Structures are given as structure tokens and as C-alpha cells.
Amino acid sequence: MSLESKKNDLGIAPTLKNMEIGDKTAFPIEMMNSVKNTASNIKIIEKKVFKTKQLNAVRLIQVTRVA
């Protein structure tokens, strides 16, 4: 699996807002609650839909834009 290689220096919201359908990115698992809440808020406001997946072996939460 290949994830976006940059470190998400923009922060959670700008990173998610800039994603196109099919794009994937990942954040440290410690940011899971913030990532899920931000994705939910963006869905409501901007009608962009995300799917999240925990990658426990590498301690990441993967985010995929699906719509």
C-alpha cells in the first residue's frame, strides 16, 4: 500500500479539504479522534466523504476520500 509521502504539514483540515476523490493520506494514530471529527465536519459543510482505517501495526489512521 502506498500512502501519501508528505507529512501533512498543513494540518488535518487543510489536508482533507485538498484531497481529490481516491486520494489517501495518513496521520499518527494518536490523532484519530481529531481526524475522525474533522472528516465528519467537512462532510457536513463541504459534502466531501471520507473513509478511515486504523493501521495498528504501523500506528497510523489512513484516510481515503471516497466522494
Residue 3, pLDDT score:
55
Structural domain contains residue 5: no
Task: Name residue 52's beta-bridge partners.
Answer: 63
Domain span at 24 = 20-65
Q: Which of 56, 9, 57, 62 is nearest to 35 (CA)?
A: 62
pTM recorded for the entire structure: 0.86
Residue 10, pLDDT score:
83
Mean pLDDT of 46-67: 97
Structural domain contains residue 15: no
Structural domain contains residue 36: yes
Query: Is the pLDDT assigned to residue 1 strictly greater than 50?
Result: no
Structural domain contains residue 14: no
User: Which residues lie below 8 Å from residue 48, measured CB to CB, with a gap of 6+?
Assistant: 16, 17, 19, 42, 65, 67
Structural domain contains residue 33: yes
Query: Is the pLDDT assigned to residue 13 strictly greater than 90?
Result: yes
